[in-house]
Structure 1
Amino acid sequence: MSITAVPLRPIEKGTLTKLWIGIFLLLAGAAVFAWHATARPIAMNGTAEDFLSWNAGRSGVIETDSGLQYQVLEEGDEAGSPGAGAGVIVNYEGRLIDGTVFDANEQQGLPLDGVITGWAEGIRLMSRGARYRFWIPPALGYGEDPPPGSPIPADSVLVFDVELIDFISREQLMQIQMQQMGLGGQQPEGAAPGQ
């Protein structure tokens, strides 16, 4: 029996360098993947600031100077947007970042000067028919004082999906609300105009 020896070729110049570069890139890719895989859970279980910092880096999320974050889900008709004192008719759902729904309404009429600061700011960015998602930081929401009896913890980021159906004057909104209450557009006794 004879043994045939197979000669090994010497390693070409640069091959070892390419091998180490490949290993480095593989490790770097694994680190990036691990960071992305853990960033969301850390943000979801961390502070409001942790979440908002992570959320601001997501695709399509825009942050205003005040800290409100929003994403355009559907563009509206571009025919203007509501002013500060306007009334709006909206469909909306409000939830916490863990998905707990705390409020939802359809065809709801609201005065913009009667809602939380972040919600009013977000609505004023919209046009009729638009659908947006808002992430409202605690400072623009309820902060340390959520409504009594609500499932909203103190210092919570509030998430709202909002569809702006229409915007009208505050007076028109008041008249609609009175008609819905069965007052036929009459001012209730003892109520001051515009309340």
Structure 2
Amino acid sequence: MNFAWAKPAGVAVIAALALAACGRSDNGSSADAEAAKKAAQEFLIENSKAEGVTSLPSGLQYKIVTSGPADGKSPDSNDLVSVHYEGTLTDGTVFDSSFGRGSPAVFAPDQVVKGWTEALQLMRKGDEWYLYVPPELGYGENQAGPIPANSVLVFRLQVLDVADVPGGHKGGTAANG
């Protein structure tokens, strides 16, 4: 496989992941945190009833926008993936977008939040999904930059390419986040 697409984007993604980790902080108010947790639960309950939404045992929800080829490659936990994505809060506030930057992101599924790790290993090259990531599979009780504590994260995620890296495994337990 040609990894040429991974080199320039890889540095940018590593920098972005490092900055996101630095932006984490504890939530200032336990009342706010509890209200946000309740709002997240209510959103996910209602969203699970929406047409086309699949709920997984972990709490992750997704909706398929486009399916790639049936024989498309699915990454394991440490393969490199090239993706386009846009992340929003449930109110539609965009907090990050590779589409907006005009440059896809490259990383291994085990380098992102647990919800992405799980979803990416179910997706194939060419798939585009909406992900609804519950707080416990995202940043949980931590604020991450512009993302408040206990937030449901909504992503439009498109898998552009998958590059095999030896030594991975299927499963969502190795994620950082």
Relative to the length of structure 1, the TM-score reads: 0.61
Q: Deviations for 1:97-156, whole angstroms, at most 9, x for unmatched residues?
A: 001111111321111111000011111111111100000000000001132xx1100000
Change (3 A) 1:104 1:170: farther
Superposed CA RMSD in Å reads 1.6
Partner of 1:159: 154
Residue 169 of structure 1: aligned partner: 164
Query: Structure 2: how far apart are the matches of 1:77 and 1:83?
Result: 18
Tell me the equivalent position of 2:121. 124
Give the letter aligned to residue 164 of structure 2. Answer: S
1:102 maps to 2:98:
no
Task: List, as ranges, runs of 4+ consecutive aligned residues in structure 1 with deviation greater than 6 Å.
Answer: none
Indicate if the aligned counterparts of 2:77 and 2:108 stay in contact, CA closer than 8 A.
no
Unaligned runs of 5+ in 2: 1-37, 167-177
What displacement does 1:157 show?
0.1
1:70 aligns with 2:62: yes
Q: Which of residues 116, 140, 144 in structure 1 aligns to 2:141? A: 144
> Counterpart amino acid of 2:117?
A
For 1:140 and 1:112, locate their aligned partners in 2 and report how far apart those are by CA, in whole Å: 13
Over residues 31-80 of structure 1, what are the superposed CA-to-partner deviations in whole Å (9 max), with x where a residue is unaligned? Answer: xxxxxxxxxxxxxxx61000000000000000011000000000011223
Q: For residues 164 and 112 of structure 2, what CA distance do their matches in structure 1 show?
A: 16
Contact preservation (8 Å) 1:72, 1:131: yes
Say which SS state the counterpart of residue 44 (structure 2) adopts: helix
Residue type at the aligned position of 1:81: S
Q: State yes or no: 1:58 paired with 2:50.
A: yes
- Give 3-state SS (helix, strand or coil) of 2:142's partner: coil
- TM-score, normalised via structure 2 length: 0.67
Could you tell me how far apart the structure 1 residues matched to 2:143 and 2:122 are?
Answer: 25
* Aligned-partner Cα distance in 2 for 1:115–1:132: 17
Give 5+ residue unaligned stretches, structure 1: 1-45, 172-195
Alignment of 1:89 with 2:78, yes or no, is: no
Q: Aligned AA for 1:168?
A: A
Residue type of the alignment partner of 2:134: P
Q: Which one is further off, 76-85 or 52-61?
A: 76-85
Percent identity between matched residues is 41
**What's the CA shift for 1:170?**
4.3
Say yes or no: does 1:112 pair with 2:109. Answer: yes
